[in-house]
Amino acid sequence: MTALLEASGLTKSFADFTAIAGVDLVLPAGGITAVIGPNGAGKTTLINLLTGKLLPDQGRITFAGSDVTRFPASARVRAGMARTFQVTNVFPLLTVEENVAVPVLARAGRSLDPLRRIDSMQDVRATAQRLLAAVGLGGRSADVAAALSHGDRRLLELALALACEPRLLLLDEPTAGIASGERDRVLEQIRSLAAPQPLTIALVEHDMEVVFGLASRVVVLHQGKVLADGTPQQIRDDRRVREIYLGDPSVAPPLARAAPSPGPPLLRGSTSPGVEAGSASRAGPSPASRPNASQRWA
């Protein structure tokens, strides 16, 4: 299996606090990988390192065969990475179509000209319509973004990211703050993006059952390290994941099943199927340690 992205030995500290402590991660092309972990585990920092918002103190990142470790974020976007943020990030006063037109034009080296309505830019509009249709917002083009529901704004963000024509899409909590009634629609759109086209998706999500239903692979981050990496079933059945999140029914629902037969390790250096060895302590305070049942994930 060819790796689309490969990170090795990634480390990032903020002053004397090590947020990411030697993470190895391989993302093969295709499929949806979920990164889960308690608040402060390092999930957003990991996405920031992969996308170039932050540079690592140590480690290496290769993407599509190139060493992108020191690439700025803009160069990684050009190389085929796009992301969405934990906090919604759209232009509220522009229409839905104009929002998407901004990155479509930027990709062509142009910018949105306030004196020139996009009605006259048929090529841009056609691309914007295709992207909006891909995220289920085809009927909302003329609406001002501020009028969208939170779930629809999340979908618009997806369209903005897709405008970069990525090979890898990294989503930081794509359902954060969305009412439960809207959540399934957003998840269905994410699933549909990964299905027909060769798009690789890595997302951070806090709802365990959502992750188990959506992702083909789950990576558990804990105190800046990869604690476990495997299929949803392997993660459900992983003794150490269950020990650490004992008492949180959304993470470790009561299981009477036997462990599944071992598959190939997804993580370099794994010592047991789908699970990385060691959960050594990291420098600095440890806000993520031993979350209880009421602690929110992600």
Of residues 17 through 36, those in contact with ligand ADP by CB under 6 A are: 17, 19
DSSP states of the chain as a string? Answer: --EEEEEEEEEEEETTEEEEEEEEEEEESSSEEEEE-BTTSSHHHHHHHHHTSS--SEEEEEETTEE-TT--HHHHHHHTEEEE-SS----TTSBHHHHHHHHHHHHTT----TTS-GGG-HHHHHHHHHHHHHTT-GGGTTSBGGGS-HHHHHHHHHHHHHTT--SEEEEESTTTT--HHHHHHHHHHHHHHHTTS--EEEEE-S-HHHHHHH-SEEEEEETTEEEEEE-HHHHHH-HHHHHHTTT-TTTS----PPPPPP---SSTTEEETTEES-----SS--TTSS--TTPPB-
Among 25, 26, 44, 161, binds ligand ADP (CB under 6 A): 44
Told to check if 289 binds ligand ADP by CB under 6 A, we report: no
Least distance from Mg ion to the Cβ atom of residue 188, Å: 23
Closest distance to ligand ADP from the beta carbon of 17 (Å):
6
Smaller CB separation from Mg ion, 39 or 292: 39
Nearest approach in angstroms of CB 272 to Mg ion is 28
Site for Mg ion in 37-56 (CB under 5 A): 43-44
- Which residue of 41, 135, 194, 218 would you call a contact of ligand ADP, by CB under 6 A? 41
* Cα dist from 134 to 188, 197, 227, whole Å: 11, 11, 34
For residue 43, state whether it binds ligand ADP (rule: CB under 6 A): yes
Contact of residue 287 among ligand ADP, Mg ion, none (CB under 5-8 Å per partner type):
ligand ADP
Using the rule CB under 5 A, give the single segment among 36-44, 123-131, 224-232, 242-250 that binds Mg ion.
36-44
Cα distance between the two ends of the chain:
29
Among residues 22, 40, 80, 166, which is the contact residue for ligand ADP, using CB under 6 A? 40
Q: Which of ligand ADP, Mg ion, none sits in contact with 65, Cβ below 5 to 8 A by type?
A: none
Instruction: Report in angstroms how near the CB of residue 45 gets to Mg ion at its nearest.
Output: 8
CB of 44 to Mg ion, least distance (A): 3
The nearer residue to ligand ADP, 16 or 119, going by C-beta atoms, is 16
- Choose between 96 and 288: whose C-beta lies nearer to Mg ion: 288
C-alpha triplet 88, 89, 94: angle, nearest 5°:
120
CB of 149 to Mg ion, least distance (A): 22
> If binding is defined by CB under 5 A, does position 99 make contact with Mg ion?
no
* Residues engaged in binding ligand ADP (CB under 6 A): 14, 17, 19, 37, 39-45, 287
* Residues engaged in binding Mg ion (CB under 5 A): 43-44
